[in-house]
Chains A and B, each alone.
Chain A
Amino acid sequence: MSAMLPARFAGWIVLAVPWGIAFVMSTKVEQPPRPSVPLAAQVEAFATTEAKLRSDSAHNFPRDRWSADDDFHNAERRWVHGLASSPAPTFVFEQLDRNLRAGYPNANRKVTASPCKPRPFYD
């Protein structure tokens, strides 16, 4: 019985080694730096394009408010990823959030939700 114990534990040790390595490596992940250039101007510029992007999305997904909203957010994603100096999207959204709150109640920008209604065709 006692001879069996090391063999039993061997499996757990095998399991623990790669986990340990993964854990150590994952603690060494370098944090993305805060953008050196303030993002306020870029976010402000994006705000001026929102009406056009919304209209394009409504045209792409006629009479489908959730899909149109989703299309707009996809365009927003592309804009975030395309920003010069590639800031981490978190910081861009942080600035966008500040920008929207500063403009409350944002009569000209959509800040409400379109209830999720997935399209029935994904086959």
Chain B
Amino acid sequence: MTCVACAAHWHALRYAGFANDFRDAQFHQLYEHVAATSLTTHGQVPLWDPYSCGGMYALGNPQIRFASPTLLLSVLFGGIRAQALTACVMTTIGMEGAYRWLRQYGCSASASVIAALVPSLVGHYAVAYFFGWVNFYGFHLVPWVLWGTGEALRGRFRGAIVGAVAATWMIGFGGTYAPLMTAVFALVCILGQFFYRPSLRQRVRETWKLLALLAVFALGLSAFRTLPILDVMRASGRVMAGLPGSSLRTLAGMTLTHVPPTGDVASPAGLFFVGPVAVIAFGVAGIFSFKRSPRVAIAALTTTIVMMWLASGYGVRPSLFGMLRALPVYGTLRYPERYVFFAASALALLGAHGLTEVQSWRSSTKLGVRRAGWVLSVALSAAIVLGVTHEVVVFQRTTRALARIVLPESSHDPEFRQARGNRWLSAHFIPINRGSIACGEAYPVPMSTDLRGDLPNEEYLENPNLGTVRRVAWTPNRINLDADVSEAAYLRVNQNWHPGWRASVGDVVNRNGLIGVHLPPGHHQVTLRFMPWSAVAGSSITALTVLLMIGIGRGRVHRLFSLAIPIALAASLLPAFAWMPKSAPTNPDGTPILGDHHPTIAINATFALPVELVGADLPKARDADNVTRFDLYWRVTGSVRRSAAIFVHVVPKKGDFVTLDREVLGGTFFLADAPRDVVLHDVFGSGTFEPGHYEVYAGLWDPSSGERIAVKRGGGSDNRVFVGAFDLK
């Protein structure tokens, strides 16, 4: 298995000293590098990352992968060089887990070995490596969660431990999607096990106790990571709109055809390559699975179908993915095709089970059956191995195609400073010891508009006439300053504020999003430290959970008692946290969505849904960048379905109208999630309008059905509301 994993990653390993030039890889490499150097150079736990986005809560960033054992590789070999090693190790671990999981279903060792390779080499791992998304290798821990679940179902305590550790590793490895998706897969697998193993149904209560223990252990162990993520996401969660989906034909293209030889990973073809040979081999072997145990075969086949249904997203109606998205937290899921990872595992189970059946024929007393057993097991094994070889070749080809760069080692200036930066090339700021205030994260990082990339000093007084500030020592989590002020003054640090920052003198305050310290008059040695409550409380819960796991393992703590403590502790501590406050909602141009608004045009139209179009401001001219600005004012007064959206039609005197539809108001709220009974200011613009006369119409519609929502008051027969007219010169 190790050899196969290394063969697949050969080009990655060969060029381990090179950095990945792809834009996403740039900041992923930066995160890992900063975490490793925080430990090795500064001797600090990597809690705060001053190099990215003007300073961010590193442990709370859902995408970082350093909160896992593979950080050791980055510490030993450096963040960039360790990427390939990490990918290879994770793949090996995934293969071992898949092998053990298949063995749980009674598959033979030889069938399990070769079948386990297939889901572990799904083309998306190679694509993820190409993009620099090494954190996607967290999906390799899925079989370990399943193996742990299976052991727990058998009444074995070690299953709860292994499942919880695997889930925690997955979360620490940057998988916020992986655990959520795995939970669905694990649930389907558990139901499958209840279906094919009648003995489980007879001891449901005992079984569920251990499963509950696994869940509590996972929650407790991962608290050091999940509480910081919760801290960040609560303040600035990502809005995910759209109706992603793939037809079955597209899914077939993703799994059966491979990435073009040019390494064009932008096309769906080959995105989740499994290969026709492996799929056919598993399909044929799966036929024999029905003979060995129809219930296992039905469970595996049903799981494969359910996972492919989920993978189709909104492309197949009714949409199972759509139903899943209606659940809390699952609403942020995107890229449903990632369920192909799970479908491949379930298909591998079907294949390995069938291959085990034909292998068993080889010991039959009947010569014909024995011969058939030999012929079929050799043929099917060869076909699966051929499929694996195909996967390895495609894997190598994809990882070979990525653009590589070498980063210089030296830094001209040992002092850390913020630069204007460039998120497309952020790794290039590592050697010059500069942070990038240009940010390209996947969630709205709380950032100050006062961050600057040209300051002579990163720490300064708001009023320079009141004294002086001098940096004495700097590390990511701690800054020592020498301040001398003649009267009370505000000191600023050119980094984003977070409530986890504390000062030895004065109070840490939020100065328009920057770290500020209100200093008393006098000469002070000021030490700023970053120690957020969510990290402290989360780590405490994790440590307590470890102690409880050891205690239960030794039979010293009653199991039910262990369930109560972490839950009670977490519940009692959570409200006490100095949580990151929610950011004030803004439009993409920075205009506040909430506030005291006075539209120039009063409309007051109402709809069949509890939404009102209160008013509007229409453009009088284009701005200096030839952009035409529109302002609509809405009010939501009751419960609205998630799919409700805004449409805007700008109709010229001649020609087709221009649509400026808004599924997400201000890029921030679905109408369903918008604050109730307040006026919501929605600002948007367009650069397409030439001089002329235009009429503006607006209304509500449902993008999933394409139907407009009826206007109750203030609209025409076409269920549009006339907003007004304007002239552009």
Contact = CB atoms under 8 A, between A and B. Distances in A.
A15 B84 CA distance: 13
Contact of B588 (A27, A64, A93, A94): A64
A65 B588 contact: yes
A117 B444 contact: yes
Contact of A63 (B3, B405, B587): B587
B425 interface: yes
B243 A123 contact: yes
A28 B438 CA distance: 32
Contacts of A118: 238, 441-444
B514 to A, nearest CB: 10
Interface in A84-104: 88-91, 93-94, 96-97, 100-101, 103-104
A121 interface: yes
Interface stretch (B142-150, B558-566, B678-686): B678-686
Contacts of B240: 120, 122
A39 interface: no
A120 B627 contact: no
B361 interface: no
B454 A105 contact: yes
A55 B440 CA distance: 20
B428 interface: yes
Contacts of A88: 405-408, 428
Interface residues of A, number: 61
Nearest to A105: B454
Main secondary structure of the interface of A (DSSP, over half): helix
Interface in B176-227: none
A111 B450 CA distance: 10
B667 A93 contact: no
B663 A120 contact: yes
Contacts of A90: 407-408, 428-429, 431-432
A60 B104 CA distance: 56
A48 interface: no
Interface stretch (B10-18, B41-49, B127-135): B10-18
Interface stretch (B415-423, B594-602, B606-614, B648-656): B415-423
A63 B685 contact: yes
B31 to A, nearest CB: 15
A28 to B, nearest CB: 7
B664 interface: yes
Main secondary structure of the interface of B (DSSP, over half): loop
A60 B687 contact: yes
B589 interface: yes
A100 B455 CA distance: 9
B432 A55 contact: no
Contacts of B18: 26, 29
Contact of A59 (B2, B244, B417, B626): B626
A115 B444 contact: yes
Interface size class of B (residues with CB under 8 A): 35 or more
A121 B438 CA distance: 20
Contacts of A119: 588, 667
Nearest to B629: A63
A19 B73 CA distance: 11
A115 B13 CA distance: 36
A81 to B, nearest CB: 9
A50 to B, nearest CB: 10
Contacts of A74: 424
A31 B409 contact: yes
Contacts of B454: 100-101, 103-106, 111
B590 interface: yes
B29 interface: no
A18 B10 CA distance: 8
Contacts of A67: 588
B628 interface: yes
Given A31-B408, A121-B242, A18 B6 contact: yes
A90 B77 CA distance: 22
A44 interface: no
B437 A113 contact: yes
B241 interface: yes
Contact of B667 (A62, A112, A117): A117
B406 A21 contact: no
B244 to A, nearest CB: 4
A104 B13 CA distance: 44
Nearest to B590: A65
B242 A93 contact: no
A25 interface: yes
Contact of B420 (A22, A100, A122): A100
B698 interface: no
Contact of A18 (B13, B422, B590): B13
A14 B589 CA distance: 55
B451 interface: yes
Interface string A39-75: 0000000000000000100111011111101100110
B425 A123 contact: no
8 closest A-B pairs by beta carbon, nearest first, are: A26-B17, A62-B685, A123-B242, A63-B685, A22-B13, A123-B244, A29-B17, A58-B625
Interface of A: 11, 14-15, 18-19, 21-23, 25-32, 55, 58-60, 62-67, 69-70, 73-74, 76-77, 80, 88-91, 93-94, 96-97, 100-101, 103-106, 110-123
Given A58-B625, A59-B626, 16 more contacts: A14-B6, A18-B13, A55-B624, A70-B423, A73-B424, A80-B425, A93-B419, A97-B420, A100-B420, A112-B437, A113-B453, A115-B447, A116-B53, A116-B444, A119-B588, A123-B241
Interface of B: 2-3, 6, 10, 13-18, 53-54, 77, 81, 84-85, 88, 92, 238-244, 334, 405-409, 412, 417, 419-425, 428-429, 431-432, 434, 437-456, 513, 586-590, 624-629, 663-664, 667, 683-687
14 contacts: A19-B88, A25-B14, A59-B627, A63-B589, A63-B627, A70-B423, A89-B405, A89-B425, A90-B428, A101-B455, A112-B449, A113-B438, A115-B590, A118-B442
